[in-house]
Structure 1
Amino acid sequence: MGRAARRRGRLAVELVRGITLIAATITMGLIAGLFYAFAQAIMPGLGQSDDRTFVAGFQAIDKAINNPWQAAGFVGAPVFTSLAAALHLGPDDRSSLAWIVAALVLFGVVLAITFRVHLPLNDEIQAAGESDHIVDLAAVRERFESKWVRWNVARAAFCTAAFGCLAQALTLFGGS
């Protein structure tokens, strides 16, 4: 293989590495923004409502959020970040690797919180039934609200930190 062909090959690899890191950063940012919106606006807004509105409102939001766009971001963040890490394992430029791995670890915490806290709570509030037929709305809300809100703030912080790590990795990659 000639020098020009090797150069084109290296440029192609760099392009794929860059695109993958950009995709990881964007998807992580979207998910961090979603958790931030819940922490700063959605849950405080619902928190000011009566029990029936709170339960019905959250149930509706939970149903609406389960869609392909949200799934693409939530799945895309760890997939693209893992792929970016794998593509930065080579001997050439590893300056971004530590930041990418840190983002993966932080998002692992996000996943743990989501699967151990939020999804079970979401399932529980859905299983309570339609708000018009729940006998003790205050009890349903009491079992749900404070724990969900508290852990979402943590989830938002970890995901935002993961986004920051990927932004730093992207900065280092662009400067190399």
Structure 2
Amino acid sequence: MRVFALVAATVTTGVTSGLFYTYASLTPGLRTADSMAVVQVMQRLNVAVLNGWYLLGFVGALVSTGVAVVLHLPSDGHRVLPAAVGALVCYTGALVATRAVNLPLSQALAEAGEEPGRTGYSEPNDPGGARRVRWCAVRALLSTAALGFLCWALVMHCDVSPT
């Protein structure tokens, strides 16, 4: 059961980390676009990403990592516990960033309709949404760190000697 939880956590965190990495990699390209184009692209992406597959990875990573931590609490699982806890902390940080920054920005975009000035993207010093770009990178880094911790937890669980 422990290895299943670790594998599920690794896979779902990897999927979500990949999505966050994609956002972090692509959003800087919007810096050269005009405000209306940025609003339209981000509105469409934000609508498209809200689906069952995204939810499965997004929530599944948190739940399965939490389950992996709980399953490794007994003394015979303590070897894996630091890596599993590290993954949970990093992934929770990515969720906090999403909730505190990315979701409000997405909501502002959704409410902007055809008025990009209401989103903050029309400001001369922030044409491509530098704040969004920064926080997409934070989410990508935190979720990638969580993925690394989970990979290490699997190595520790399987008692594989890294070479």
TM-score over 0.5 for the alignment?
Answer: yes
**Counterpart residue number, 2:59:** 75
User: 1:20-169, aligned counterparts within 5 Å?
Assistant: 20-40=5-25, 42-129=26-113, 131=114, 134=115, 136=117, 139-142=120-123, 145-169=129-153
Q: Which runs of 4+ in 1 moved over 6 A?
A: none
- The amino acid that maps onto 1:38 is Y
The answer to whether the Cα contact below 8 Å between 2:36 and 2:116 also exists between their aligned partners in 1 is no
The answer to whether the Cα contact below 8 Å between 2:116 and 2:122 also exists between their aligned partners in 1 is no
Q: Higher helix share goes to which structure?
A: 1
- The amino acid that maps onto 2:107 is D
Q: Give the Å deviation of 1:91.
A: 2.0
Q: Give the Å deviation of 1:98.
A: 0.7
The answer to whether the Cα contact below 8 Å between 2:108 and 2:118 also exists between their aligned partners in 1 is no
User: For each residue in 1:113-165, what CA deviation from the matched residue of structure 2 results, as whole angstroms up to 9, or x when unmatched?
Assistant: 11110101100011011x3xx27478444478111111111111111111100
Structure 1 runs not aligned, ≥5 long: 1-15
Q: Give the Å deviation of 1:49.
A: 2.2
Whole-angstrom CA distance in 2 between matches of 1:119 and 1:169: 30
* Percentage of pairs with the same residue: 38
What is the aligned-residue RMSD (CA, Å)? 1.9
Total equivalences in the alignment: 157
The answer to whether the Cα contact below 8 Å between 1:128 and 1:140 also exists between their aligned partners in 2 is no
Whole-angstrom CA distance in 2 between matches of 1:115 and 1:62: 14
Name the CA shift for 1:121/1:90 in 2 (closer, same or farther; >3 Å): same
The answer to whether the Cα contact below 8 Å between 2:9 and 2:68 also exists between their aligned partners in 1 is yes
The answer to whether the Cα contact below 8 Å between 2:91 and 2:142 also exists between their aligned partners in 1 is yes
- The amino acid that maps onto 1:109 is G
- The amino acid that maps onto 1:101 is V
Q: Give the Å deviation of 1:100.
A: 0.4
Q: TM-score, normalised by structure 2?
A: 0.89
